[in-house]
Amino acid sequence: MDQAGVLREMKKMEDKISKINPLPEQKGCNEDTRVIAITSGKGGVGKTNIAANFSYILSMMGKRILLIDADTGLANIDVLLGITPEYNLCHVLHGEKTLSEVIIQGPGGIKILPSASGIQQMAELSKGQKLTLLDALNDLNERLDFVFIDTGAGIAGNVMYFNMAAKEIIVVVSSEPTSLTDAYALIKILYQGYSEKRFMILVNMVKTSNEARSVFRKLSNATDHFLNLSVEYLGHVPCDNGVPEAVKKQHLLADIFPSSKATRCLFSIAKKLCQERPGPYESGTMKFFSKAIVDRDGK
Ligand X SMILES: Nc1ncnc2c1ncn2[C@@H]1O[C@H](COP(=O)(O)OP(=O)(O)O)[C@@H](O)[C@H]1O
For residues 262-281, which are near ligand X according to CB under 6 A?
262
Q: Closest CB to ligand X among 48 and 158?
A: 48
Angle, in degrees to the nearest 10, between helices 177-192 and 209-222: 40
Q: Which residue in 49, 129, 158, 175 binds ligand X (CB under 6 A)?
A: 49
Q: Closest CB to ligand X among 45 and 134?
A: 45
Does residue 44 interact with ligand X by CB under 6 A? yes
In the complex, least distance from residue 103 CB atom to ligand X, rounded to whole angstroms: 20
Q: Give me the residue whose beta carbon is nearest to Mg ion.
A: 48
In the complex, least distance from residue 177 CB atom to ligand X, rounded to whole angstroms: 17
Classify each residue of 266-297 as buried b or exposed e, where b means 16 or more C-beta atoms within 10 Å of its C-beta.
Answer: bbebbbebbeeeeeebeeebebbbbeebbeee
Does residue 48 interact with Mg ion by CB under 5 A? yes
Of 147, 151, 197, which Cα lies nearest the Cα of 172? 151
In the complex, least distance from residue 158 CB atom to ligand X, rounded to whole angstroms: 14
User: Are the CB atoms for 41 and 296 separated by under 8 Å?
Assistant: no
The CA radius of gyration of the chain, in Å to the nearest whole number, is 18
Of 56, 26, 28, which Cα lies nearest the Cα of 289? 28
In the complex, least distance from residue 14 CB atom to ligand X, rounded to whole angstroms: 26
User: Are the CB atoms for 99 and 113 separated by under 8 Å?
Assistant: yes
Does residue 40 interact with Mg ion by CB under 5 A? no
Q: Which residue in 10, 36, 45, 113 binds ligand X (CB under 6 A)?
A: 45
160 binds, among Mg ion, ligand X, none (CB under 5 to 8 A by kind): none
- Rama region for 106: left / alpha / beta (φ>0; ψ in -120 to 50; rest): beta
Does residue 247 interact with ligand X by CB under 6 A? yes
For residues 150-209, which are near ligand X according to CB under 6 A?
204-205
With H, G, I as helix, E, B as strand and everything else as coil, classify residue 262.
Answer: helix
In the complex, least distance from residue 126 CB atom to ligand X, rounded to whole angstroms: 24
Q: Which stretch of DSSP H or E encloses residue 210? A: helix 209-222
182 binds, among ligand X, Mg ion, none (CB under 5 to 8 A by kind): none
User: Are the CB atoms for 67 and 73 separated by under 8 Å?
Assistant: no
Give the interface with ligand X as residue ranges (CB under 6 A): 40, 43-49, 204-205, 237, 239-240, 243-244, 247, 262
